[in-house]
Structure 1
Amino acid sequence: MTARLRLTLSYALFAVLTGAVMLAIIYLAMRWVPNYPLTAANPRDTSPAPSRQEILDTLLRISGYALGALAVIGLAGGWIIAGRVLSPLKQLNEAARIAAEGSLGHRIAMTGRRDEFTDLADTFDAMLDRLQRSFERQQRFAANASHELRTPLSITRTMLDVAVADPGGQDYGRLTSRLQKTNQRSIEIVEALLQLSALGRTPLSLEPTDLAEVTAEALETVRKEAETREITISADLAPAPVLGDPALLRQLALNLLENALRHNVPGGAVTVSVAPSRLTVSNTGPLIPPDAVDVYLEPFARGKARTAGGGHGLGLTLVADIIQAHQGRLRLAPNPTGGLTAEAALMGVEAIREPIEHRP
């Protein structure tokens, strides 16, 4: 049975039952009429007047005809009404079929008055929007990851081919050093990809963590790189207890600091501040157009400074995913004089009332 047929039968049955109840009330009311002898309205008319029983029998017979007519009208009207009510479902079904075939660009865009069907259509369109963005992002991510991994592997193969072709003319110390750096780059890319993948599959291990403490550890890690690049780091680390994964929060601070160093210029500066539930990293550097900020969150998106620093383009992507996993908020804003300010807002321990579950 289709939904339309079920609705049709329901409408017809309701019409027949309603008519039957009304006719039963009339019939019972007629039975309570006093059984007076009935005479013709015109005394000169000699035709016999019907008795009360004859009237009731006639009423019963006509009621049967009326119920049959109501059934036919209910079926015909119910079929038409059910078709009109369920017609939006055809659009929803068609959109779902097209999406199931792999085309996520189709939208229902249902018009008309607001009701449950238009709300469902809008929700379905919003779901398709999210699916399409996610699918396109995954496609770009897979293509970029393949390209990024192919580059160091191609470099390694070229160096080995040259060494095999001319083994006597090689500086093996320099060759092994270059191979080591290229291999390290591949390892970093794979590790970053694994971290991004793990954030979407595994639950977080949440515990009270001092954001200032993990930031201080990250600062010690990048001190040497900052000295090499001749960049000054100033830090203001106030205690900031948050509920989170200490390892991921340490990675969050480290990635923001590395991004600030590699997007900087020689002789520049990096400012780090930790306030309650908030980590802010600001750096000097070249001017950044406001519309280019969102691009930095895309996997493998690099600026000139990051390319020069040997980054693999996954730092800010991993930062955004870590913050999302902690139900926080990331804000990127270009500085008027150049460089970027990144602000990570997290949930403080005092604001937690229920355990946080990771939602990718």
Structure 2
Amino acid sequence: MRLNPRTLLRGMPFRARLALAFSTLFLLTGAALLTFVVLLARYGTARQVEAIEITKIDAPSGSEFSSGYAQPTDPQGTLPPPGTTGDGIALVRQIDQTVQAVQDTALRQMLFWSAVGLLVTTLLAGLLGWWLAGRALRPVAAMTETTRRISEHNLHQRLALTGPDDELHRLADTFDTMLDRLEKSFESQRRFVANASHELRTPLAVQRTSLEVGLADPLPDGLAEVREDLLAANREAEQLITALLLLARSDRGLEETETVDLSAAARLVAAELAPQAEGDQVDVAVTSDRPLTVLGDPLLLRHLLTNLVRNAIQYNHPGGRVRVRLEGHTLTVTNTGPPVPADRIPDLFEPFRRLTQDRVGTTGHGLGLAIVRSIAEAHGTEATAEPGRPGGLTVTVRFP
């Protein structure tokens, strides 16, 4: 498997990439400077060799030296200088070769030690770049840590970055402005939920009471059926409003938490829904290997269990089963019912999204699993579902 350098660079942290960029830039600049120095040194020494003049000293005839004046030699030492004797040629050629050897040795030593120095200073530049990148990114790290701590429960906190009016300071100010808008939005939502809880439920309660009192028995023929229809519509409207308010509350997150015994809550929910299960001829059973305790909101967790079990009973068939299992930190609710296509499962967790009219029947508003998902997310987890075999649905919630 061949490694792509671009893919490898993208996988590196920004600080490491910045330090690597410092080191690479220093290495390339140093290599260019070293190449220039070596070429300049070679050119300069070559010119000096060409300018060398060798003076021969007087010596007895036939000795190693003879008198005379010698022209500069060829750099390769192949051409004898004009006007010299054989002894003079040997002397000039020997000196020329010596100078060339000294030149090559000096250049090799300079090149070697310069390369060693360049590598060492490149390593130091990388370490210095790592330190400088850390110093430059310290405000970003502080902004990230503060952002992590900010949630819907402490939107009043701000980054409040100090320092010069630079790009980072303007980024922090923009983020603080966004938090201001979010805080106002959340406060508006909280006020709406608190007011709607009273304003919407009270008229429905008054309407139900008026129907029960104003249309009390005995009634003329035909009005009894109308009364039951009106009361059924009233109860359905109350259930819808309760579900919407519950969804809005779970979307806000958890305000207070306490330890909840989910095993005991599941058995209590199964007992409360036993009349509905008996009427639909569905068998409900709760199994638990050990008590499952969860830190969360007891009311929201109770609604999570209620919606899961009620949906499993409602979307079932006569003689079907509902199994609630609590194993470790996992809650699983399985039912037997009509087959559910795997590609339609994500739709079941959306508000007011129904699979088919047959699945929904005459009751339900398509909010059950949407509420389950919202409550699960409020508790730091998620609800997943998969088709059962041969039919039905299995919903799983894994608590941290």
- Report which of the two structures shows the higher radius of gyration computed on alpha carbons: 2
Taking structure 1 as the reference length, the TM-score comes to 0.49
Question: Which protein has greater RCO, CA pairs closer than 8 Å, 6+ apart?
Answer: 1
Taking structure 2 as the reference length, the TM-score comes to 0.44
